[in-house]
Structure 1
Amino acid sequence: MSIVILGVFAADCAFRGQRLPSMGETVLGEGFALGPGGKGSNQAVAASRAGGDVHFVTRLGRDIFADMARDVWGQAGVTPHVTEDADSYTGAAFIYVNADSGDNAIIVAPGAGGQLSPADIDAHAALIGGAAVFVTQLEQPMEAAHRALQLARDGGARTILNPAPAAEIPDAMLALCDVITPNESEAEILTGIAVASVDDAKRAADALLDRGVGAAIITLGENGALYRDRDTTLHVAAIRAGAVVETTGAGDAFNGGFAAALARGDSPADAVRFGNATAALSVTRAGAAASMPDGHEIVALLSRQG
């Protein structure tokens, strides 16, 4: 069963250090890495490595970062569906990683991916409409995501929106989402409810259900994830796979693993648990796409949990 993901590729320029500089200040870093990223691309890599048949729809420039994108998709088994844009550039991201905690702060310049339009989506209508599971985020223009969700829904796909970066989303678009997957801060921006506990997450999920989504998954970091639809509430505990190296890409790992599990027919509870395990493994490694685990690693971690 195919998974189609719409999103952006960005080359991640990751700097490790003790703190971000203030305006006008220069600080010495403790490390640097250049690697593949972008939320949609990361999710495609995660879903494919987790065992999914993944197709990725995006735009790229004609430059060295586009070559990087094609290489990483080829290695992960992702089938790309790319519109090339010679007048733009392939996306890039600045990532600051705190050397002590592994937490991160990110600036993304989507480049060609930021030019994705409803016309680009219509050019891939048959692919999107034929998906078993469709996933998108908000790094590309919202109009493109909205059109793709409509085509996927019309074709009978299970639709997943990862609302990142957080933005105001019209109710008509939320009504096309079988599942929405915000983290705590994204849930607060969408609902106005500060999420500091599982009970807060339940209230935020209810607010999203009231706006038309089929189910909400609020990812809670070390507190796992809350799944809530109109009939079921599940708090799925986090899984620990080892020491945290950095959290870049953890949300993308969750979404990719979750999509792969749904596509093969797992229940929501099992799919959330699979997503948690995918994310748990990813944070034990540096990088975004480079940190995504293989399916056998995820299954082995779950089997050790009992």
Structure 2
Amino acid sequence: MTGTVVVLGIFAADLAFTAPRLPRLGETLAARGFALGPGGKGSNQAVAAARSGARVRLVSRIGEDAFGAMARDLWSAEGIDIAHVRAGGAPTGAAFIFLEAGTGQNAIIVESGAAGLLSAADIEAAEAAFRGADIFLTQLEQPVEAAIRGLEMARRHGLRTILNPAPAGPVPDAAWCLCDVVTPNESEAAALTGIPVTDAASARAAGEALLARGVGCAVVTLGAEGVLVCEAGAATMIPAVRAGPVVDTTGAGDAFAGAFAAALAEGRPTLEAARFGCAVAGLAVTRPGAALSVPRRDEVAGFLA
């Protein structure tokens, strides 16, 4: 059984530099490696959902430039429906990614570019994308007003909704009740709730704080520890999947989110979908890149077997 996932989010060209540390202000460091590839949380998650077996419809904006052409080539190769991707108005987004040599840990600065112009009107214009779909997934790299209208549109058409609140920012209180699932990482959960998240116990406290705001389910991702699924009256720890040496963690959260959405779209229970998402993320971090590091469904199935 295959489900349909609607993704609202941005594409950004990832410019990734590997170095032993970040430079101080006024300092120039020699990098130990550089790569240019496709990124942006919405696009990464759309690719992850498609590679996990879902039909994917993307709502976004890109520029009419070389990075925009990179985006179209990627989406075409992955079979993603881009009938509701607009072009023009500003350059395509881009991201600076610092990768710490030896650990693969990252720090990122992103500029949304044309996707920063996404508005509630764009969501209304893309209403056809929501018809007959199963899951709506969005983040906060595009304006929050667009994300909220997307959540409202999804509810109008009976889709289950997922908010990946990244990067963490102000979310109107009324928006939380539109979220069937939220998937923050440790820092995002802390920023949203004011509760420092350092372990499973504090993750549960943050998750329960989100449930109290009207969220149906909070899935707090805890990096190498796994994810904590927090639902009314229960919290379940899903351990991370270790598939080999960690090379690059840049796309791990997006790999999880897209795979999790795809699994829910085909009708899997929440805990089973979270386990599948952990397997996809565990494989993704063993190779460089964001979108292009995501394994395909048959590879995941072989690994789990």
Task: Name the TM tier (shorter chain).
Answer: over 0.9
Q: AA paired with 1:71? A: D
Partner of 1:83 in structure 2? 86
1:202-252 per-position Cα deviation (integer Å, ceiling 9, x unaligned): 110100000010000000111110001114321111111110001001000
* Contact map agreement 1:49 1:77 (CA 8 A) in 2: no
Corresponding residue to 1:101 among 100, 103, 116: 103
Structure 1 vs Structure 2: percent identity of aligned residues?
A: 56
Q: AA paired with 1:37? A: G
Partner of 2:183 in structure 1? 181
Mapped pair 1:213 → 2:224: no
Corresponding residue to 2:290 among 264, 269, 288: 288
1:24-74 per-position Cα deviation (integer Å, ceiling 9, x unaligned): 111100110000000000000000001010111100110000100011111
Partner of 2:248 in structure 1? 246
Q: TM-score, normalised by structure 1?
A: 0.97
* Contact map agreement 2:91 2:113 (CA 8 A) in 1: yes
Q: AA paired with 2:72? A: R
User: 1:300: how far off?
Assistant: 1.9
Partner of 2:229 in structure 1? 227
Q: AA paired with 1:229? A: E
Q: Partner of 1:188: helix, strand, or coil?
A: helix
Partner of 2:12 in structure 1? 10
RMSD: 0.9
* Contact map agreement 2:164 2:257 (CA 8 A) in 1: yes
Query: C-alpha separation between the residues in 2 aligned to 1:74 and 1:34?
Result: 19
Query: C-alpha separation between the residues in 1 aligned to 2:300 and 2:213?
Result: 34
Partner of 1:168 in structure 2? 170
Q: AA paired with 1:295? A: R
Matches within 5 A, 1:1-306: 1-80=3-82, 81-85=84-88, 87-303=89-305
User: 1:126: how far off?
Assistant: 2.5
Q: AA paired with 2:304? A: L
Q: TM-score, normalised by structure 2?
A: 0.97
User: 1:295: how far off?
Assistant: 0.3
* Contact map agreement 2:13 2:94 (CA 8 A) in 1: yes
Q: Partner of 2:257: helix, strand, or coil?
A: helix
* Contact map agreement 2:52 2:262 (CA 8 A) in 1: yes
Q: Partner of 2:107: helix, strand, or coil?
A: strand
User: 1:79: how far off?
Assistant: 1.2
Q: AA paired with 1:26? A: T
Query: C-alpha separation between the residues in 1 aligned to 2:180 and 2:131?
Result: 15
Gaps of 5+ in 1: none
User: 1:302: how far off?
Assistant: 2.1
Query: C-alpha separation between the residues in 1 aligned to 2:63 and 2:118?
Result: 12
Any runs of at least 4 consecutive aligned residues in structure 1 with deviations exceeding 3 A, and if so which? none
Give the count of matched residue pairs.
Answer: 302
Does 131-140 or 121-130 show the bigger shift?
Answer: 121-130
Query: C-alpha separation between the residues in 1 aligned to 2:226 and 2:131?
Result: 32
* Contact map agreement 2:15 2:35 (CA 8 A) in 1: yes
Does 22-31 or 76-85 show the bigger shift?
Answer: 76-85
Q: AA paired with 2:163? A: L
* Contact map agreement 2:4 2:262 (CA 8 A) in 1: no
User: 1:82: how far off?
Assistant: 1.0
Q: Partner of 1:175: helix, strand, or coil?
A: helix
1:116-171 per-position Cα deviation (integer Å, ceiling 9, x unaligned): 00000000113225320000000000000000000101211010000000012112
Query: C-alpha separation between the residues in 2 aligned to 1:302 and 1:230?
Result: 29
Q: AA paired with 1:145? A: A
User: 1:111: how far off?
Assistant: 0.5
Query: C-alpha separation between the residues in 2 aligned to 1:58 and 1:9?
Result: 8
Gaps of 5+ in 2: none
